Amino acid sequence: MNLNIALLALSQASMMTVISLVLSSSALIGLQLSSPDLATLPLAVQYLATMILLYPIARLMERYGRKLIFLIGALFGAIGLSIAAIGINFGSFMLFALAGFLIGIFNAVGQYYRFAAAEAVPGNSKSIAISLTLTGGILAAIAGPILARYTKNILQPTFLASFISLIVVALLGAFFASRMTLARVSKEDDAGSKRSLYELGRNPRFLLAVSGGVIGYSIMNLLMCATPLAMLCAHLDFSQTATVIQWHIVAMFAPSLFTGILIRKIGVYVVMLLGCMAILLGVVVAINGDELVYFELALIFLGVGWNFLYIGSTTLLTETYRPIEKSLVQSFNDTLVFLSVTIATFFSARLVNNFGWEAINIYASIPIILLALGIIFIMRSNRIGLSLD
């Protein structure tokens, strides 16, 4: 742990506090301002913004450095939250959806915290640096739902005070960014030839890293965004929903305390496989009941599974590209991740309304099973000495 890693972890905490509260309340606000089928549209707009801006943000970081862009991204988040509060106050669904786009900019910038951490330490410490940065999510898991629960009804309309409080959180993120001393890319780092995505895509390890991030994140987000609506259908109140989301986010980030060490001990493939198994276990729990305890356990297993897949995939990805290729690869990877997340988020409300909670979980298990088979294939190939580079 060094000062930069600590500040990156605090920035992660700031960004995830905003995202967790928005996640736990946005669909319900959308339901109040619009129709059930459009309830998750503001979230989808948020992830759409994240998706389309990842590559431009990577190029801006190449030119101006990560620190400045981290700072500007947090300020955009504060502006977006201000517009969201105005939209809630005046009952404007359009303003609330527009706010989602600006919050998505903050989210897009925040996706590079983990890569900045990996670059701030020696090569053999990358997985641990990534894990330590993501521990900021533990603070978010506590702060986000607590803010939602205790500020929900302070002002009317509902959730107005919640979004006002998040403006301060985003400004804290800007302050943390201003204190970083991240190194700029040197000319030596830029040396060497730059491969195309087609060439990189011929490496099965690269494909597995990207697939792990895409499948793990999109399935997690599909089920997480569907949860508040499924719990509403099960006649559970918002305080219970906030608790479930809180424990889910704790489960997403608490394993970060040891995931990096676990990758060192048993290997990245085994950790990713354990992530698949945790998500599948969550599916089994989810389809067995709609009482509070089933939602809690299912979302805890989902969070742990996401953590293992996310950190494992990120670690594996950093081992497949050269320094000169980092902007291209990092932005390509996260663009695919958030393309899938945007689609999953947009359709989550409609899927719950049309098919139900159990069916969504069953369908979600299919890509996880396919990913697990891909991991097993590469593990077996390594065991028999087949080159995958």
CATH number of 3-183+195-383: 1.20.1250.20
Name the nearest CA neighbour of 307 among 269, 283, 275: 275
Q: Is pLDDT above 80 for 388? A: no
Q: Is the pTM of this model over 0.85?
A: no
What are the structure tokens assigned to 346, written together?
């947009």
**Where is pLDDT greater, at 244 or 83?**
83
Give dist(CA 99, CA 46) in Å, integer: 8
Tell me if residue 83 falls in helix, strand or coil: helix
Please tell me the predicted confidence (pLDDT) of residue 70.
96
At residue 192 the predicted structure's pLDDT band, cuts being 50, 70 and 90, is low
When pLDDT is averaged across residues 272-291 and rounded to a whole number, the result is 94
CA angle 125, 128, 129 (to 5 degrees): 80
Residue 316: is its pLDDT beyond 50? Answer: yes
3-class secondary structure per residue, 269-289: HHHHHHHHHHHHHHHHHHCCC
* 106-143 per-position pLDDT tens digit: 999 999 998 899 888 877 788 888 889 988 888 887 88
User: Which whole number is the average pLDDT over 33-39?
Assistant: 79
Q: Helix and strand tally (H, E) in the chain? A: 16, 0
Q: Are 200 and 206 in contact (CB under 8 A)?
A: yes
pLDDT value of position 187: 47
Alpha-carbon gap, residue 131 to 127, rounded angstroms: 6
Q: How much of the chain exceeds pLDDT 90, in percent?
A: 47
- pLDDT tens for 161-177 read 999 999 999 999 999 99
The phi and psi torsions of 349 (rounded to 5 degrees) equal -65, -45
* pLDDT over 60 at 277, yes or no: yes
pLDDT tens-digit series, residues 369-384: 999 999 999 998 877 5
